[in-house]
Amino acid sequence: MRIGELAALVGVSPRTVRHYHHQGLLPEPPRRANGYREYRLADAVRLARVRRLTALGLGLDEVRDVLADDTGTELREVLTELDAELRHQEEEIRDRRARLAQLLRQAEEGTLPPNAPLSPELTELLGRAAAPAPGPAPGGVSAKDGEVLALLETSAPPEAHREVVALAETLTADAASAKRTREAYALLDGLADAAPDDPRVARAARAVVDCVPRAALRHMPLGASMRDPSLPAVFAQALYDDLSPAQAEAVRQAVTLLTERARAAREER
């Protein structure tokens, strides 16, 4: 058989056959006097097996190892690994489809978060924070906090993000907590045009600190300060630059107070 005939018989292209020669998957056959390759039945059988193996999802390196093993051990191991990988992919696809279904429901109901897609946990948290409730309505700083949480969900390590979300959940855990949180946000929003030395800055900082329950302080990372070198300086600077000078100062003071209280709470254990 000529290369075109072999390729047509197995259902591949002549270019694929040449590539398999180059990769060492198909041995070079003898050539006729005119230089054309002369393929035999054994070549077609081997090429057909290569095609079946690649159709299963094996890479060419894996196919090469399988072809070199006469005992079948290599094939069994490769197929076991492939089956485990496909099972993992199926689980990921199921999870993704469930998440997509939830997002589609939210889109139909008009409740899709502005920063979607977010994790179900963060979506629920932000939805609770935005729900109408007695007291001052959340303002600009509240929206910025939601944006920061969305950013952390993507960029922070999973454990660090879970800690931040768990801490944020305490701010709306019940009606009283939600009221304190909304009042603190209102105080921060009121500093939009204030000077950093405005007396209201300290009041706003204390209000933010009072939103965090004492029990939650024991689980608060002590490196939470934006001045901590373990946190990216660029992120910290961008966060403060996005606030007014007085708001930034209030947040700095609040973080310092929270860190001190968290350290004291841990020492009481």
- List per-block mean pLDDT (blocks of 10 residues) for the chain, which spans 269 residues: 95 96 94 92 95 93 90 88 93 90 86 72 64 47 65 64 70 78 87 94 92 70 46 67 90 86 72
Q: Would you state the pLDDT for residue 229?
A: 44
Q: What is the DSSP string of 89-103?
A: HHHHHHHHHHHHHHH
Backbone angles phi, psi at 31, to 5 degrees: -110, 150
Structural contact between residues 51 and 12, judged by C-beta atoms closer than 8 angstroms: yes
Res 225: pLDDT: 41
For 153-158, the CB contacts below 8 A with 24+ separation are 153/118, 153/119, 153/122
Pick the closest to residue 45 from 110, 1, 89 (CA basis): 1
State the DSSP code for 111: -
Please classify residue 25 by burial: count the beta carbons closer than 10 Å to its beta carbon, then call 0-12 exposed, 13-18 middle and 19+ buried.
Answer: buried
CA distances from 64 to 67, 173, 210 (A): 5, 59, 65
DSSP 138: P
Can you give the pLDDT at residue 147? 67
At 119, which amino acid appears? Answer: S
pTM, two decimal places: 0.52
**Distance in angstroms (rounded) separating the CA atoms of residues 62 and 147:** 45
